A and B are shown apart, each in its own frame.
Chain A
Amino acid sequence: MSKFVDRPRYTCALGGALATLRAIPRVIPIIHASSGCGHNLHNAINPGAGYLGGGYCGGLALPSSNVAERDVVFGGENRLREQIASTLEIMDGDLFMVLTGCMVEMIGDDVDAVVSEFEDSGKHVIAVHTPSFRGNSFTGYELVFDALIRKFIKRQPGKDKGFVNVLGIVPAQDVFWKGNLREIKRLLGKLGLRVNTFFGEGETLEDIRNAGRASLNIVVSDVYGIEAARKFEDVHGIPYISTGFPIGADATSEFLFAVAEALGIERSLAEEASESEKQVYYDYLERLADIYNDIDLQRYAVIVGDSNYAPAVSRFLSDELGWLPELAVITDFLDERQKNILEKRFENYESGIRPMVRFDTDASSVKRYMADIWPRNRNQRYYDSMNPTVVIGSVYERELAAEFGYPLLTLSFPVTNRVVLNRAYAGTNGALSLAEDLFSILVAGR
């Protein structure tokens, strides 16, 4: 039984589906819903994802049936039929995906039947049921994959040994999705793999159509994309591994070893790749050796983020930057099994640090946990305060950070106070960017 949410850090299934489709070139979504759904969601996704913009067919250009109360009387099916036909006339695309909103699902429109009438149109038209009440953005990502896997991706019994797909990075919800995918792809390239990330630079709809020949799906998440990977296994016979989201040299090495093992690639190749990554990484990171130690740039940290970022950032701060992550709040809807997996990610840090982990969807809760992690100032003469601290979260943490006087780096959705283009936080290059951004805050006044 779910509860209300104080300032949700995601949109709905329809929003997640729209953001996912926005990341694929030449896909035209057709929203079958009330007139406001697409507009509202664009106005959440665009600013929340560091001003992602509507893209090729995004934002207010999204075709939408805009069914209203007076359509409900007759059902929205005629209106949808008309809208699909006119969309095919006007919009220039290669794949048309009909996404549903709450209202048409509730009045029982037979969307699949209407869509099936367009089988002979010479265009791919696919229906996905994405009413908001089915779940949040992450659900929308899974639902789009479900439809692509079942209805669009070609079945290919022969698998290509050196070819893999990457799942688990949700466009827009991961504000740095495109940069992160580039980095993951680069790292896998070091193992000699050819990689389809579905939404990466230069990738096309054709690459998605051919995703069925991959010999492994690599899910760089403990939570997102797992359903898609299972579906891939069922429908296309592709096995999957789930690696967690890598940030930093250690996590990158583990990631490379895990992939190598799953594919039966020689360990020495992974070792070589990991070693060369570390060399470049420490060549850069070493630059901080002076200033870090000259002026003491160790910080306490409070991390508020999704299931990918919170564990990855926390461990990177602890084991590579030598910081003290005291509290990590994971803001997703999760079941007990998922919580257990995520909690393990905070154990056995090399530093010996053990952050307090909380699962909470409410923006106002974070402040309460701050009181739990540190003894209160009881007006004693000498008080060991949790200071200096950096908050790493979303833009919702701005008021919390201001109240405690801590600086804030926003990296988890929503990020409305930064413009994000090709920046990445994943892998080794991403970890360097994260280090740049964190330490830049600390030296900004110098």
Chain B
Amino acid sequence: MNYLDAKSAPAREDRLKTNIAFGGTCAKLKGCIRAGCFGRNGCLNLADRRFSQTQGCQFSLSLSILNTIRNAVVIMHAPIGCGSCTIGNVGVNRIFKQLRDPSAEGVIWLSTNLDEADVINGGENKLREAVLYADREFRPEAIIVANGCVPALIGDDIDSILADLQAQISAVIVPVHCEGFKTKVMATAYDSVYHGILKNCMELPERRRYIVEPDIEKLREQYRISRNVNVLNVSSMSRQDELELQRLLNALGLNVTFIPCYAEPEDFRYSLESSLNVSICGTHDDYFVEHIKEKYGIPFLIDTIPIGRKNTDRWLMGIAEHFGLESEAKRLIEQENKILDESLEPFRKALSGKRAFLAGGEVRIMATAEILQDLGMEIAGFKAHHFDRFIEPVFDAIDGVDDVVMEVATNQPFEQSNLLNRLRPDVLIAHTGGNNIAAKHGIPILPLFGPSYNYMGYSGVFEVARRLNRIMRNSQFNRKLSQHCRLPFRKEWYEKDPFAYIKAQDAVKEDAV
């Protein structure tokens, strides 16, 4: 893979044939994979909806990573509204950064506030002023410039302005081309962010050079690097998650560096002194690790996500195999499973037989389903944000879901509302956002992820079980809401097929009203 000569990362619809609109069962989905429906000329390539609800764009998802970078200022090169979602982040962002560095500051961002005049004349001057101000006022290590739709459409030559400015300031400038209209697959954001990081933050760190290097120093250095792994974290995971994964890898004698979230810009350089890049979730990292492998020869592992026992076992074994530590890993896995299994017993009694609907990232919902099956629960349905090949390894860890409903939709609460009405699960485990609709179905909701809770590793299984049990003990809040607050969808909608509005590519031209 090498897209780094291009200005920006390609859209995932093109690169991975990612799908955002599908309705059926898991068996049907598997059938579609085999039949090539998702491929270039497949019937599901670029499938979409005749009715859609707002779903997020790669700009806002890019910010969920960029805003976490410590000692950086983010410039949103766009009209005043783009990136205002950062408002929801100002408080927790500082707290989470301080878990990594007690002296860290909260997120600082500037909007270039493009107005009607700029739409005609170009927004280049404002960008220039914003970059110079950011450097002078905040003295950051990096200035990240994320651009929205407007500069992309007016054709601002962002890269040359920034290249010119780079000579005048001390911060490293990182352009991130993440205009929302380019793709409907939000996850393209990960590629866009990594594209900027790969092009601007990755170079081997400067180390003291010996005139004559003693062998012992060389060996020491090689040994150090041979024990280092980078774990590519995601902004939806918590510090507790990191500490759990770190504990497990330390137990195998490995040192862990977490990038990109909550890292400092210079951490990316040191991450090159490593012998393996480990992904937590295929959805996030393939673009980064493939490029690093090609350029720096560091191998990578993209397999499953360490959520649930089987997935965590498999994730650990994969890493252990790379280092020839299989027997150590086996012992660790055995021991961890034994303690955990006993601790889950009381929750199995309470939760067994309960039916759950899972909604969120494709990899994450599948992995979380494994925890539920471990607790004796049933899967009532899945809703995946999008669908691509990274789902396949996680399918292996769950049993008997062939007849389970599988919806692929980025948000689209109307479809989910229809499904919840039909399937009537006992609990919903869901991605953030849109839950005000789900709440009015009166069922308890457990967040699918949360940056202040533990979900990953063995301790994560226990934590999910414990919290699920707690949440299901009293769902009066949502139940009362369901009795007193109306849903915004017409009665007729609940009588229709939940997937009635899914359409094939470009159908809009033929069957427009």
- A interface with B by C-beta (< 8 Å): 1-8, 10-15, 28, 31, 34-44, 46-48, 53-72, 74, 78-79, 81-83, 85-87, 89-93, 101-103, 106-107, 131-136, 364, 395-396, 398-399, 414, 416-417
Contacts and interface: CB of A to CB of B under 8 A. Distances in A.
B111 A42 contact: no
B54 A15 contact: no
B54 A60 contact: yes
Which interface class (under 10, 10 to 19, 20 to 34, 35 or more) fits B? Answer: 35 or more
A26 B85 CA distance: 25
B181 A59 contact: no
A335 to B, nearest CB: 14
A89 B49 CA distance: 14
B84 A131 contact: no
Contacts of A399: 105-106
A54 B87 contact: no
B342 interface: no
Contact of A4 (B111, B148, B149): B111
B56 A395 contact: no
B116 interface: yes
A15 B84 contact: yes
Contact of A134 (B56, B116, B149, B180): B116
Contact of A40 (B11, B83, B138, B413): B83
B90 A64 contact: no
Contacts of B59: 36, 40
Contacts of A63: 51-54
B311 interface: no
B377 interface: no
A135 B414 CA distance: 31
Contacts of B129: 3-4
Nearest to A63: B53
A39 B60 contact: yes
Given A62-B53, A82-B50, A416-B91, 12 more contacts: A1-B117, A5-B111, A36-B186, A40-B59, A43-B60, A44-B85, A69-B182, A86-B50, A103-B153, A132-B82, A132-B150, A417-B91
A117 B428 CA distance: 40
Given A12-B81, A36-B55, A61 B87 contact: no
Interface stretch (B36-44, B318-326, B350-358, B483-491): B483-491
Interface in B47-72: 50-60
B56 A131 contact: no
Contacts of B79: 12, 102, 131-133
A35 B84 contact: no
Interface of B: 11, 46, 50-60, 75, 78-88, 90-91, 105-106, 108-119, 126, 129-130, 133, 137-138, 148-150, 153-154, 180-184, 186, 410-411, 413-414, 433-434, 436-437, 485-493, 501, 508-509, 511-513
A106 B150 contact: yes
A222 B171 CA distance: 42
B180 A37 contact: yes
Contact of A106 (B90, B119, B489): B119
Residue in A2, A399, A414 whose Cβ sees the most chain B Cβ within 10 Å: A2
Contact of B180 (A1, A35, A74): A35
A4 B54 contact: no
A36 B56 contact: yes
Contacts of B486: 56, 92
A56 B490 CA distance: 13
B489 A90 contact: yes
Nearest to A53: B436
A60 B82 contact: no
A417 to B, nearest CB: 6
Nearest to B57: A36
Nearest to A67: B181
Contact of B113 (A3, A44, A64, A414): A3
Given A81-B513, A86-B51, A36 B508 contact: no
B136 to A, nearest CB: 11
B84 A41 contact: yes
A90 B118 contact: no
Given A48-B88, A61-B434, A74-B509, A12 B83 contact: no
Contacts of A28: 488
A4 B145 CA distance: 13
A52 to B, nearest CB: 11
Nearest to A49: B87
A3 B56 contact: no
3 closest Cβ pairs, A-B complex? A36-B57, A12-B81, A38-B54
B84 A93 contact: no
Nearest to B60: A40
Contacts of A54: 434, 436-437
Contacts of A48: 84, 87-88
Contact of A103 (B11, B181, B493): B181
Given A44-B84, A56-B488, A39 B56 contact: yes
A214 to B, nearest CB: 29
B60 A47 contact: no
A39 B52 CA distance: 12
B428 to A, nearest CB: 14
A82 B149 contact: no
A43 B436 contact: no
Contact of B52 (A8, A83, A414): A83
A34 B437 contact: no
Contact of A7 (B109, B150, B182): B109
